[in-house]
Amino acid sequence: MRHYYTYSEYLSDCKILTEQIQDRFDAIIAIARGGMTLAHMLGEYYNIREIYTINTIGYEDMVKLDQIEVFNIPKIKKAQKILIVDDIVDSGDTMKRVLELLTEQYPYAIFKTAALFYKPSAIIKPDWYVQEATMWIDFFWSVDL
Amino acid sequence: MRHYYTYSEYLSDCKILTEQIQDRFDAIIAIARGGMTLAHMLGEYYNIREIYTINTIGYEDMVKLDQIEVFNIPKIKKAQKILIVDDIVDSGDTMKRVLELLTEQYPYAIFKTAALFYKPSAIIKPDWYVQEATMWIDFFWSVDL
């Protein structure tokens, strides 16, 4: 079973997400690639110019890799409160590793996490999420083109 | 006059863009924020994992700044052929400055540029673009949420 996640459903979820997030942030970090579209739109919405990406590779052709590879940890200028976003927190391995690495590197910053989808079996729960994932999701940015 | 650029128009333009781009790239660099959604989708389409962002500030509340601020120049792993993407090449100042800085830092890499919109008055012409910009564009990622 696969769920085709359209732009229209995404937009509606973004509205729900921003209603949930009452905090204000200085910067957004997108977990690439999945979080990039969301980070872009949230950056525009909150008028945050400091938008970074962090690269992770956890899947190869829909198969989960044993080891999460994280690279390109962003050089954050002076932001103190930072929102990390991804499309989905699935196993949670990626978000957990990213959060660990960023907290190590920026011990004085406050990191919060948001995702569109979350699987309750994940080892980490994002601070905000919209839907529980029950099947593989075909995000519009992956399949529309 | 403002042009509301919908997701559907964007998708159609992405198709045109990928038909134009016959080269293959090892990495994509998004000029943030504007190029992030496009870089995400192209990354998925070409299955490129190395997606970076570079931060630039050239506008403040629709007013062009005198100086383009560029920060967070990505550490590129080993990519040799790199596509730089932005939503619009307007004055061209941003794309020109980004290209200069990246070429300085990575003299052996080949950089090509793509944008959805291009103004013929710009000081640099992207290698690929879809539409000529004749008015202010309200991109869906800026206004839909």
Q: Which domains, and CATH codes, for chain A?
A: 2-16+24-143 (3.40.50.2020)
> What residue in A sits closest to B19 (Cα-Cα)?
A145
- Cβ(B113)–Cβ(B126) under 8 Å? yes
Asked whether the beta carbons of residue A72 and residue B52 sit closer than 8 angstroms, the reply is: yes
Q: Closest approach of chain A CAs to the CA of B36, in angstroms?
A: 6
Q: What is the pLDDT of residues A39-71, one digit of tens each?
A: 999 999 999 989 999 988 776 666 776 778 888
Q: Closest approach of chain A CAs to the CA of B81, in angstroms?
A: 18
Q: What count of residues does chain B have? A: 145
pLDDT tier for residue A22 given thresholds of 50, 70 and 90: very high
Specify the amino acid at residue A62: M
Bridge-partner residues for A129, per DSSP? A115
Q: Does B75 touch chain A (CB under 8 A)?
A: yes
Asked whether the beta carbons of residue B141 and residue A40 sit closer than 8 angstroms, the reply is: yes
The whole-model pTM stands at 0.94
Mean predicted confidence (pLDDT) in A10-38 = 97
Q: What is the pLDDT of residues B106-122, one digit of tens each?
A: 999 999 999 999 999 99
Q: Does A7 touch chain B (CB under 8 A)?
A: yes
Alpha helix ranges (H) inside chain A: 7-20, 36-46, 93-105, 140-143
- Using CA atoms, how far apart are residues A72 and B30, in angstroms rounded to an integer? 14
pLDDT tier for residue B37 given thresholds of 50, 70 and 90: very high
- Using CA atoms, how far apart are residues B84 and B115, in angstroms rounded to an integer? 8
Alpha helix ranges (H) inside chain B: 7-20, 36-46, 93-105, 140-143
DSSP string spanning A94-111?
HHHHHHHHHHHH-TTSEE
pLDDT at B137: 97
